[in-house]
Amino acid sequence: MDIATLRPVINKKWSSLVLLGLLTATTLTGPLPASAHDKAEPGAEPPRVQLVLDVSGSMRATDIDGRSRISVAQQAFGEVVDALPDETQLGIRVLGATYRGKDKQQGCLDTQQIVPVGPVDREQAKAAVATLRPTGFTPVGLALREAAEDLGRGTTARRIVLITDGEDTCAPPDPCQVARELAAQGTTLVVDTLGLAPDEKVRKQLLCIAAATGGTYTAATSAEDLTGRLKQLVDRARDTHATTPSKVAGADACQGAPLLAPGVYTDRETFSEHRWYRVPVRPDQELRASVSVAMDRPVNPDYGVLLRATASDGRELVRGVDAGSGRTDVVSAGLRWSAGADDDEQARDEEATASPAATSASAVTTVCLVVSNMFSPRAGTDKEPGMPVELTVDVVAASPTPDGPDLGRGWVLLLLLTLAGLLTGLVTGLLTRWWVATWREK
Amino acid sequence: MRMRTRSATLAALVAAGVALAPATVLAAPTPTPSPGSTTVTKAGTSFLSATPVAAGQPVRVGASTGEYLYWSFTAGAGEIHEINATVSLAEDRGGSSTWAVEVFDGLRRRQACTAGAQTPTADAAVSTVAIGCTLRRVRPWAEPWSADPLPGTYYVRLTVVDVPERDLGLPIDVDLLISATGDAGTAPEDGKLEAPLVPPAKAGEVLNAVPTAPAEDEEGDGWNLDLTGWLPEAGSRWIWTTAGGVLAAVAGVFGFALTRRPATR
């Protein structure tokens, strides 16, 4: 008998049967939170980007491929507007474009939106950019604040691309602090920065702004660089605008902490703070949680993040931890947990003691999640607002421990083998006897 | 044998006067992208915006030094993934820089590399730096408390971890290729993860009260449910062992018959 050729056929048949069974099982057990894996529906809101261009006096300098910085920026803007995807809404704001005087107070209010955020009229936008002449001061902080306002508040991520060649000449407000505040309030806001032939001060400032909002910093030293990078950043706005977590404020104790359904959340947590959340988990379910804490300000080089899951009485269930040192954007940790056998028993005990009205509710375990960080601030680092925390919570069907049979040991196996042997021996013996009998008759 | 053919080809090409060919012939042993796959020219900037990449799909993207580049790929049970990246660095740099590729699973837990230069350092003089990471074999099941690699989404983060500040922001080009070896076939005794480690992408929702568990109606027309419960799965040890018993008995009877045959004649 050729078992080798037979097995795949059996396998296929069996597995399809098992699959059918599982399918029926899942449909019978009711709606599982499978919706957790649904992709975020394409946002009804279009992606919105605001380009913020510095038109201060220093943009006159001719040090990029022998051309002036402003003409390089103008050319890049023209190409970006031409290549703009139709659904992307683009706005352009300038700073230091109109005030010619020497009064710093006046000059530091000099920022205008020359193209409002919305569907772009390409010709009009290009014409507006082409007429810009380098003039005044560099109020970066104010321009960022206004740009965030231009983009409005909505449910999707916003992007600001800041192009400048000089450091802010109008602090306070410190543009880096402004960026951090903007990122902490309202919707997700990312500021990407582009330095035109930057010196050390500009680089430090732009790096700080980018880090504060989870954006990027690029040094543009040629027209080609600038155009390519601008196009890439505008494209990114289109790719990322729909993925926005919802805001939640964790409590300082498990009692009264927000109850979370599966999904992505953001919160803020400052140094040595603990943030608590609660997640309801049914006995046949598994909790999955991950957390990322972003380093949006200068901190000491060694750091860590700890995510713990505890029962409602404070008993620790499981922990996820990660630590590191050096340059990074986020530090992440994650954990999985599902109710074990003794937890089931305990839940049943609680159920027995609880009032009959609460019986159905106590079948659901409420797991507390606590996020803590091991960042330490450098001298002069602000503690407020806290660092961005991204929390992902998922509740899925639990994966039971596989238990294979005791092959090679155990009385059950011996009994099975003996029975199978006996049965086959009997059948073969009977067949032989019958065959011998018929042969003799013939 | 292979070497000989290669050098023969090389000799032939040189003889033919083709100047470009030797380089392409010699560059064979590195993992190659699967034929017909399109090159990915994007990278995400966070876990949420990571650009999905398939194994064998080449990635080529321009970026700036200091940026955090994220990609994600899907791994199945039994597979081993190898990540290879080459970063073309900008000219005129201030000093040496250390690059790193870090891999995280769907729960953003750090994954270990079993081989490969995960954090190479590039001197100021070199123009490219090669980064590599080979991951552990993905397991079909693991205890919730363990950190073993499981099927699901994996994230790759590529960045510079140590660099002179004046080099930040300079343009770089990144080539990345994720290759998978091993098959997805696993034995049922090893267990199965009911849901792969794929993080939810939608925004969360704060609940007002603990949801009550839906009423369980296990009674009723669920006979095929029970069937899957007590029937052994195809290819399980029970079936193999039973088949072994049957074969043993047949062999025994056959042997018995062999000894008996001369007597019956």
Q: How far is A8 from chain B (nearest CA, A)?
A: 9
| B197 with A288: Cβ contact below 8 A | yes
Spatial distance between the Cα atoms of A202 and A193, rounded to a whole number of angstroms: 10
pLDDT at B173: 94
pLDDT in tens, A135-147: 888 888 888 888 8
Q: What is the pLDDT of residue A116?
A: 84
**pLDDT score for A257:** 92
Question: Across chain B, where does the E strand assignment appear?
Answer: 51-52, 59-64, 69-75, 80-88, 97-105, 110-111, 113-115, 121-122, 128-135, 152-162, 171-181, 206-207
Residues of B whose CB is below 8 A from A394: 199-200
Gap from B63 CA to chain A (nearest CA, Å): 8
Which of B41, B61, B64, B143 has the most A C-beta neighbours within 10 Å, making it the best mutation to test the interface with A? B64
CB-based contact A259 B208, cutoff 8 Å: yes
In the predicted model, is pLDDT for residue A405 greater than 60? no
pLDDT digits (tens, 9 = 90+) for B65-97: 999 999 999 999 889 999 999 999 988 888 999
B241 contacts on A by Cβ (under 8 Å) = 405, 407, 413, 416-417
Q: Across the interface, do B49 and A236 touch by the CB < 8 Å criterion?
A: yes
- Between A343 and B136, name the one with better pLDDT: B136
Yes or no: say if B41 and B57 are a contact pair by the CB < 8 Å rule. no
Cβ atoms of residues A319 and B109 within 8 Å: no
- Cα–Cα dist B194/A26, whole Å: 11
Pick from A270, A285, A250, A251: which is nearest to A384 by CA? A270
Contacts of A357 in chain B (CB under 8 A): none
Nearest CA in chain B to A305: B109
| Average pLDDT over chain A, rounded to an integer | 79
B163 — pLDDT class (breaks 50, 70, 90): very high
User: ipTM, 2 decimals?
Assistant: 0.78
What per-residue confidence (pLDDT) applies to B261? 59
- The confidence band for B257, taking pLDDT boundaries of 50, 70 and 90, is confident
Mutation for A interface: B41, B42, B45, B216, most A CBs within 10 A: B45
Which CA distances in Å does A177 have to A212, A266, A272, B173? 8, 20, 21, 32
Report the chain A residue with the minimal C-alpha distance to residue B208: A259
> What is the pLDDT at residue B89?
93
Tell if the CB–CB gap between A239 and B188 is shorter than 8 Å: no
- B211–A364 C-beta distance less than 8 A: yes
**B108 and A332: CB-CB below 8 Å?**
yes
CA dihedral A311, A314, A316, A322 (to 10 degrees): 110
pLDDT digits over A205-214, tens only? Answer: 899 899 888 8
Closest CA to A147 of A201, A106, A192, A81: A192
Answer whether B49 sits within 8 Å of A243, measured CB to CB. yes
Res B234 pLDDT > 70: no
Please choose, from the candidates A227, A183, A236, the residue with its C-alpha nearest in 3D space to the C-alpha of residue A48: A236
Residue A416 has its nearest CB partner, among B191, B242, B253, at: B242
Report, as an integer, the average pLDDT of A415-424: 80
Say yes or no for a CB contact (<8 Å) between B213 and A228.
Answer: no
CB atoms B191 and A329 under 8 Å: no
In this complex, do A402 and B190 lie within 8 Å of one another by their Cβ atoms? Answer: yes
Q: Which of A198, A228, A246 sits opposite B62 (nearest CB)?
A: A228
Which residues does A410 contact at the CB level (< 8 Å), separation at least 6? none
Bigger pLDDT: A1 vs B84: B84
Under the banding of pLDDT at 50, 70 and 90, the label for residue B207 is confident
Report pLDDT digits (tens) over A170-193: 777 888 888 888 888 766 788 999
| % pLDDT > 70, chain A | 82
Residue B135 confidence (pLDDT): 95
Mean pLDDT of A63-82: 86
Q: Which two tokens stand for residue A211?
A: 């880090």
> What number of C-beta contacts closer than 8 Å exist between A and B?
292
pTM of the entire structure? 0.78
Question: In B, which residues are within 8 Å of A207 by CB distance?
Answer: 66, 165, 168-169
* Coil/strand/helix, residue A182: helix
Q: How far apart are the first and last CA of chain A?
A: 29
Who's near A404: CB < 8 A, 6+ residues apart?
A: B189, B237
Alpha carbons A441 and A202: distance in angstroms, whole number: 109
**Interchain contact, A264 vs B203, CB within 8 Å:** yes
Which pLDDT score is estimated for B196? 92
Residue with tokens 């000799």: B11
Cα torsion A178, A184, A187, A192 to 10°: value is 50
Flag if B198 and A425 touch (Cβ within 8 Å): no
Query: Taking CA atoms, what residue in A is nearest to B216?
Result: A29
Q: Do A363 and B213 touch (CB under 8 A)?
A: yes
**Closest in B109, B205, B248 to A334, CB measured:** B109
Nearest to A399 among B46, B165, B191 (CB): B191
**How much is the average pLDDT of A217-228?**
87
Contact A261 B205 (CB under 8 A): yes
Q: Which residue of A has its CA nearest to B91?
A: A221
By Cβ distance, the residue of A155, A258, A263 closest to B200 is A263
